């Protein structure tokens, strides 16, 4: 288990690409791995693991875990009120015209598929999606974006980027034609170049702002962006 930060109330782990955050019983997930990790470490038969949020299966990076029910309840409330700051980095095809900007769309999760789509604001299932981006660097036809979420919709970054002609590298579901990292025979397990880089939350005991930074996977070196994403250089 790649534990990045931990105390008596919570921990932040680095979820690898291709692993579900949570899943039905019998399906491999980060939650199941955490249960086994805590069992082996503490000897408890049924340790508590609180999962106040998730990141998509093909995405890597920071996941906040509650170690007590009270802490998890607080984290859920912070996510609900948008008090937790989440910063992602993504490698996309193409380069936005403006170096910084805000993307605003209306989108919906397609009920019978693991996919989302852009819709009109009047659609009965429409939810607003807002993110802020910053162009970090460009290498050839690829660009690295730093992304801050104002809303947290299913596949939000992936869909909003692709909608503007900037599909995330490896994300064939939303139009990418470029492979990224180890290729599984199951498309859902294939990694994409989207990483939950930083999470900032209020500590459940002290109330102080706590910031945790997670370095990008080694595979990012293959696209030429690893050096600009060394710890502290992007989100410090």
7 among known catalytic residues: no
Q: Residue 130: beta bridge partners?
A: 104
Alpha-carbon span 221 to 66, nearest angstrom: 32
CA distances, 206 to each of 67, 202, 203 (Å): 15, 8, 6
d(CA 34, CA 37): 5
The answer to whether 173 and 191 have CB atoms below 8 angstroms apart is: no
**Residues 6+ positions from 99 with CB-CB distance below 8 Å:** 134, 135
At 46, list the tokens: 């049924």
Of 2, 56, 112, 171, which one is the catalytic site residue?
56
Residue 217 has a CB neighbour count (10 Å cut-off) of 18
**Scanning the structure block, which residue is given the tokens 């949570």?**
22
Cα–Cα distance, 109 to 118 (Å, whole number): 9
Q: Which residues are catalytic?
A: 56
């Amino acid at each position: 288990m790649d534990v990045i930060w931990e105390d008596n109330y919570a921990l932040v782990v680095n979820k690898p690409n291709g692993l579900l955050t949570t899943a039905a019983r019998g399906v491999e997930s980060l939650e199941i791995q955490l249960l086994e990790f805590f069992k082996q470490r503490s000897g408890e038969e049924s340790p508590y693991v609180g999962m106040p949020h998730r990141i998509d299966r093909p995405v890597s990076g920071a996941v906040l875990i509650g170690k007590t029910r009270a802490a998890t309840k607080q984290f859920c409330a912070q996510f609900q009120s948008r008090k937790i700051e989440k910063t992602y980095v993504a490698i996309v095809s193409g380069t936005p015209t403006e170096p910084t900007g805000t993307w605003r769309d209306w989108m919906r999760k397609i009920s019978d598929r693991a996919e989302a789509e852009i819709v009109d604001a009047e659609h009965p299932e429409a939810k607003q999606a807002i993110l802020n981006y910053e162009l970090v660097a460009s290498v050839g036809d690829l660009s690295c974006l730093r992304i801050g979420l104002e809303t947290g919709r299913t596949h939000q970054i992936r869909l909003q980027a692709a909608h503007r002609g900037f599909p995330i590298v490896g994300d064939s579901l939303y139009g990418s034609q470029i492979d990224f990292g180890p290729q599984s025979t199951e498309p859902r397990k294939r990694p994409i170049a989207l990483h939950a880089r930083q999470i900032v939350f209020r500590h459940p005991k002290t109330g102080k702002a706590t910031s945790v930074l997670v370095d990008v996977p080694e595979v990012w070196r293959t696209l030429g962006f690893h050096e600009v994403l060394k710890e502290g250089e992007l989100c410090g």
